[in-house]
Amino acid sequence: MKYNLFATAMLFTSSFSNAQSLPLDLTSTMPEIEKFYLDLHQSPELSLHEQVTGRKIADRLAQLGFSVTSNVGGYGVIGIYKNGDGPTVMIRTDTDGLPITEQTGKPYASKVSVINEHGTKVGVMHGCGHDIHMSSFIGTAEQLITHKDKWQGTLMMVAQPAEEVGAGAKAMLKEGLFSKYAKPDHIVALHVSANVPAGKVALKNEYTMASVDSVDIAIKGKGGHGAYPHTTIDPVVLAARSVLAIQTITSRELSPLEPSVITVGSIHGGSKHNVISDEVKLQLTLRSYNPAVRTAQISALKRITAGIAQSAGLEESLYPTVHVHEEESIPSTYNDPAQTNLVRNAIEGAIGKNNVLDTQAVMAGEDFGLYGRTEDNIPITLFWLGGVNPSQYADAKKNNRVLPSLHSSQFAPDYKIAIPTGINAMTHAAVALFN
Ligand SMILES: [Zn+2]
Ligand SMILES: [Zn+2]
């Protein structure tokens, strides 16, 4: 994930004294939160397996006085705290780790590994920083309870599993998150950033993250001997033509003003040098902001690949199949402008205006966007929490070095700065939304 940056790096030492409405003192709570972070970091669980993680979150919320429901939509956790009349504000964290072997060299690096479905041993790591999110989430819950005289309403803490496979938000909504538990008036979340310095926050109104679709295309042919190609219709050649023709969807068919990405990430076909096969399989990822662009991408994929099959002389029954994994599809994340302005002002009050940056949208996706796409039409805001050690950030900029991205085995956020900044920013955002 990459976007253009920004102002020059500024060394920001967390100071909580400049918060106007609510001066937070985190000195006494941070050691415990850091312990919580290090424990989560060293015990990551893969998507759909976040059982122990869910239990840890549930225990903490229960200790704080929340009424807690576990195992919602898998290992999702909902904590509700009623504090008089007022709006319902939902704060969301995600909880899953990734199949990555950590190579940060940190003394607290994850050593967890599991055997995957192919029987291979893989490391497990919080390579997307969801452990930072959970620690900020619990710290925020704690601060909001400590300062419950500063707000009125219902606080809804949602720890969502399976973000990395696009399944968790969908599953929690399906199990009645908004109908059985509470219907929020405002929803807010943070995501740690691998290219914003720790101590800062970056955010953007309107579209901030893209929709994501996984698509499988099976390109058919008529196989035979590699020495007699004229007696075959070679699907490898058709696949090669298709991959190139697919590049024209974004570049020639869609408006240059509408972001679109179509990546063919995988191509597999054939079994031997001298055998022309019957089929080649492609796996694609599609990204966009505007739902109309997504529809156009999918219909162009069908038309172009079918056209190539037809031009090769294949009968219609052998035209390619284009399968969109609707169950994994996630929409773009749209930050409601009015709510996001309010959140921005609150965070500026908490950490200082010069520590709140404007950012560009990215083509990465988040299933957080789904919470804003139900028929309830609830405004959502997702902001980026700086994660990079400030001096490493300055050094990388100076020497034109690329920083480890999210999902990198080298990604090591500066948790000592990022987490208190996250707690401070989120607590103030929530109080502003309540009021
Ligand atoms: Zn991720
Ligand atoms: Zn993530």
Ligand nearest to the backbone CA of 133: 2
Burial environment of residue 48 by CB neighbours within 10 A (0 to 12, 13 to 18, 19 or more)? middle
pLDDT at 314: 98
d(CA 311, CA 29): 68
Q: What angle do CA 89, 95, 98 make, to 5 degrees?
A: 145
Does position 10 have pLDDT exceeding 50, yes or no? no
Helix, strand, coil shares, percent, the chain, to 5: 35, 25, 35
Centre of ligand 1 from the C-alpha of residue 152, in Å: 33
Centre of ligand 2 from the C-alpha of residue 370, in Å: 15
User: Tokens 């083509």 identify what position?
Assistant: 363
Q: Check if the beta carbon of residue 371 is closer than 8 Å to that of residue 336.
A: no
Residues with CB under 5 A from ligand 2 (ion): 128
Centre of ligand 2 from the C-alpha of residue 44, in Å: 13
State pLDDT tens for residues 126-144: 999 999 999 999 999 999 9
Centre of ligand 1 from the C-alpha of residue 366, in Å: 8
pLDDT at 228: 98
d(CA 73, CA 171): 4
Does position 432 have pLDDT exceeding 90, yes or no? yes
Centre of ligand 1 from the C-alpha of residue 134, in Å: 14
pLDDT at 21: 58
Kindly list the structural domains of the chain, giving each domain's residue range(s) and its CATH number in brackets, ordered by start: 30-208+332-434 (3.40.630.10), 211-328 (3.30.70.360)
Does position 17 have pLDDT exceeding 60, yes or no? no
Region 212-239: what's the mean pLDDT?
Answer: 98
Ligand nearest to the backbone CA of 132: 2
pLDDT at 328: 87
Instruction: List, in sequence order, every beta strand (DSSP E) within 109-222.
Output: 113-115, 121-123, 153-160, 186-197, 201-203, 206-209, 211-220
Region 346-369: what's the mean pLDDT?
Answer: 96
Which uninterrupted H or E stretch holds 285? strand 279-288
Percent of the chain surpassing pLDDT 70: 95
State pLDDT tens for residues 227-248: 999 999 999 999 999 999 999 9
d(CA 126, CA 407): 8
Centre of ligand 1 from the C-alpha of residue 129, in Å: 8
Centre of ligand 1 from the C-alpha of residue 407, in Å: 6
pTM: 0.88
Q: Check if the beta carbon of residue 77 is closer than 8 Å to that of residue 158.
A: yes
Structure tokens at 14: 């967390």
Centre of ligand 1 from the C-alpha of residue 136, in Å: 17
Ligand nearest to the backbone CA of 192: 2
